[in-house]
Amino acid sequence: MSTTSNVLTGLTPDAANTELDAGLTAGLAAADTLSQSRLDNLSLVHQARIAQQTRTVNVLTAQYGADSKQAVAAKAAVTASRAVVTRVQMVKQQTAETAPVVTATGWAVWGHVYSSASKPLAGYCVFLVDAQKNYQSDYGFQFTDSTGSFTISYAGAAPAGDQNAPTPPTVYLAITNAKAQLVSEGAKALALTIGSALYLDTKLAAGEPVIGVLPAEIKNVAQPGQNKK
């Protein structure tokens, strides 16, 4: 009976999902301006919701069975809430860090690389490629640190004489794992802006399917020992 879930949560599982999505979309959209304490409070609220939803799952499973539509919907609500808590933690990490300093004629790309389970990945190589997937050596590369963080900065050059103001290049973010295997290559060009730093989090696909290898230009510099026979 649906009255069971109403008594426990005040919402049916489907309604809980709807309320969750509606209530948090707006909150997370403005998360960049939230204080660390408010982010902590948001996380605690949804951790409490997870505990409540988990109890609902147990009750509905006992009453209707693990494969019932009631139990399945309740489990989906738990999964959604856990995803929200993970997202809040990622936003909290971003707001706790300082954006890189960018010159008036340059730009930067910074952010984090996460696994499909939202765990930070260290030792992954981040670099930029053009539309033909060619490594853009002018902008260098960086390996992620223990928090999965990386920063690629380009100082740019001041326009000379009557030259037009500099324009950002059309580039895509590429990532290789610790085995020098290409595991991510953005399909969408980065929205770079002269004089600004672009923040970008990348969550890799489950299983990290290999789609290529580390460009030789990077490997010769970053992993020279592996090239010796």
101 domain residue, yes or no: no
Range of the domain at 163: 107-227
Please write the tens of the pLDDT for every residue from 161-215: 556 667 899 999 999 998 889 999 988 999 999 999 999 889 898 888 999 888 8
CB neighbour class for 28 (10 Å; exposed up to 12, middle 13-18, buried from 19): middle
Please give the tally of structural domains in the chain. 2
102 domain residue, yes or no: no
Q: How many CA atoms lie within 13 A of 50 on its CB side?
A: 15
Beta-ladder partners of 153: 108
* Residue at which a domain ends, from 96, 130, 148: 96
pTM of the model: 0.62
* Residue at which a domain ends, from 64, 96, 128: 96
Q: Token pair for residue 40? A: 């902590």
133 domain residue, yes or no: yes
Q: What's the whole-number mean pLDDT along residues 125-145? A: 93
